[in-house]
Amino acid sequence: GAVVSQHPSRVICKSGTSVKIECRSLDFQATTMFWYRQFPKQSLMLMATSNEGSKATYEQGVEKDKFLINHASLTLSTLTVTSAHPEDSSFYICSARTSGGTISSADTQYFGPGTRLTVL
């Protein structure tokens, strides 16, 4: 149980285009999903917290107009990188937090496999 998927796993796009990344919780409902960015050989940087049915909360320094987040259902959140530039190339990872119940009392976050974005 507690499987989170991301799609696509890898995407290459031209500078100036927009890219949408999907994050799905497959076997549980996730009231909250998180989006992280990871640079090579570095830790994960939290970009935003996505709550189902409400606006995302962005971390300081993250442009909300550039990284659009939509959390339309309890199992799906999307991150759209608008007008992508080479500096947006990175590994984007989402995680889903269980809404309670039997998965874990530690309110654990379960991570997707990540999406490698390369902007040419």
Partner 1 sequence: GEDVEQSLFLSVREGDSSVINCTYTDSSSTYLYWYKQEPGAGLQLLTYIFSNMDMKQDQRLTVLLNKKDKHLSLRIADTQTGDSAIYFCAKRPGNTGKLIFGQGTTLQVKP
Residue 94, SS3?
strand
Dist. CA 4–CA 43, nearest whole Å? 20
Residue 7 CA to chain centroid, in angstroms?
A: 10
In this complex, which beta carbon is closest to partner 1, that of residue 12 or of residue 16? 12
Residue from the set 46, 63, 100, 120 that interacts with partner 1 by CB under 8 A: 46
SS3 87: helix
Nearer to partner 1, 16 or 100 (CB): 100
- Distance, CA of 34 to CA of 22 (rounded, Å): 12
Under rule CB under 8 A, residue 50 binds partner 1: no
Taking the complex as a whole, the smallest distance from the CB of residue 73 to partner 1 amounts, in Å, to 19
Token reading at 114: 């990540």
**Applying CB under 8 A, what is the total number of residues that bind partner 1?**
22
Contact positions with partner 1 (CB under 8 A) in 3-32: 4, 6, 32
Which residues, 6+ apart, have CB-to-CB distance to 19 below 8 Å? 11, 13, 80, 81, 84, 117
Of residues 58 through 117, those in contact with partner 1 by CB under 8 A are: 93, 95, 97, 106-114, 116
Residues that bind partner 1 (CB under 8 A): 4, 6, 32, 34, 42-44, 46, 49, 93, 95, 97, 106-114, 116
